[in-house]
Structure 1
Amino acid sequence: MARRGKKKGRPISGWLILDKPVGMGSTEAVSKIKWLFQAEKAGHAGTLDPLASGMLPIALGEATKTVPYVQDGAKIYRFTVAWGQERSTDDLEGPVTKQSDLRPSEAEVKALLPKYTGVIMQTPPQFSAIKIAGERAYDLARDGATVDIPPREIEIGRLEVVEHSADHTVFEVECGKGTYVRSLARDMGRDMGCFGHISELRRVEVEPFTPEDFVTIAELEAARFGVQDEDSSVATDVADTTEATDAVEAPIDFNAIDALLVDTSAALDCLPQIAISDDAATKIRLGNPVIIRGRDAPVEAEEACATARGKLVAIGAIEQGMFKPKRVFAG
């Protein structure tokens, strides 16, 4: 019988709220963070295009179990739309496909905003990760195919004009899961007959995290190595990162970089919080249900979060006063 290989890396857990720079892909960012922390496991909560900057929440270790809760959270973007051109990718990366000499006034732009606020139908961009017959839309688009992507329901909580000039408008939008900001630029440009595309995009917030949680690559490297390496490349090659992860290194003090993590439980602020005893935590970690005690404890809840001494124990359902674990976290 074959033995399982020993896991590589440290069993470190928590959320790293990366201020992703322009030019770095989301997968590349995860690889970089995993290497810096020498973590066993890592993943991100929502792709951010290489041409976009801003908040990319990256989960390490046990925090990867809470990724769906962050993916479902509201997001805030600050973005600039350049008027007069539509591009194949709906951003600066693709070639121009349509042009116009028309330019909208600020009043015209603001008059359009109610149409894009609330629950609306939106068609994702041709260059998107949407799957069509088992293939990614962007792969089909790169091969020259025109993809028929059906519109889908999204929710825009807020859409505001921040700044307007002759050729550009800066917006801020608060939106739900599945919203494509590039599609907003495309559709608004078409509605006004002037066409438009994203020229700058920054994700400012991903609920429940805020800009106060931001950490840059430079700050991470300074914490990890003790000094800033001016020659270090922000856009580390994924292959090089993987190779570096496998290398044998001398023992390192990770206290400084570990201090930059946000606790795993922060991703579950949206759930009812149930404080339990150490004995109950032990039972839950073995997969057993426990009776929830306390005057304010809910009798029923589809999902709740159980903690012991402030430490995350499990996510589960509460039925008739019993907490039934669905996803357990290491102690």
Structure 2
Amino acid sequence: MTVQAASGGSSRAHRALDLAKETFEIEAAAILGLKERLGDSFAQAVERMLSIEGRVVVMGMGKSGHVGRKIAATLASTGTPALFVHPAEASHGDLGMVTSDDLVLMISNSGESQEMAAILPVLKRLGAPLVAMTSKAQSTMARYADLWIDTGVAKEACPLNLAPTASTTAQLAMGDALAVAMLDARGFRAEDFARSHPGGALGRKLLTHVSDVMRSGEAVPQVQPTATFSELMREMSAKGLGATAVVGSDGKVLGIFTDGDLRRLVEQGVDLRGKLAQDVMRPNPHTIGEEALAVDAADLMEAKRITSVLVVNAHGALCGALNSNDLMRAKVI
């Protein structure tokens, strides 16, 4: 009985792997099929979306509705104002979200969704352009629409050819294609994407400036060039940066002294008791502007193999400092 159970488990595992591979093949073929049938209606849909003063309102029922929510979210995050409206809720008041300035993107594999069919006449009278993503040119939705985009597939990945699988993958891919075409036409940049995602890693990298994370004011270690070595060390210890700037009377950076510099001098046997800051500092240290991106400061530290950097203002005067720990706390690195 144990042998039979093991044999049955092995058989199921092989069957599962075979079905997974077949699913990938069917869905890949479905997407490539869209590429072959892509026509002028796609380009016209992009032009319509660019020309409207309102938003792209995405609608769909069931699995097409789930895909529609994702498409609306992708459009919105890439520069095209969009929202999802549930067709069933639209019949009970949510249709008020749609205006004549909007464009309605309707998604349905069959194009015969009852909930969509119920509101098509109202949408048509409203005057908002209608774009249908369906598998059938003669479906109710396609006939009502101003533009029809073919998202038909030869078959579903489901072994029963029933569950929406390849068809929803095709819808999703077509939605992504629309979003990519739109962001390119709008000249959407990485900085624009970051503004839509301020809480994400990309947002932090592209929106966080050095001035947002640097130490400033009394927290910045600095001494005059005539400071004694003891004064220099007290400043370093008090500020906890592992370094101190040496600045002139005009506030501009003359040099820097770090923990690493101290170790090297000790290893060389240098008598430090009578030294001044100007004697032990490294002149012309690496600096970065306060308006630079924090990620640029991280790149500078990595490229120069340093753990801290001094920050200067537009006049070249010292205004801050930061180290790798500051950048890690800000989740820039």
Interval of TM-score (by shorter of Structure 1 and Structure 2): under 0.3
Q: Which has the larger radius of gyration?
A: 2
For CA contacts below 8 A with separation 6 or more, give which structure has more relative contact order.
Answer: 1
What TM-score, normalized by structure 1, do the two folds share?
0.19
Q: Greater helix share, 1 or 2?
A: 2
Q: Greater strand share, 1 or 2?
A: 1
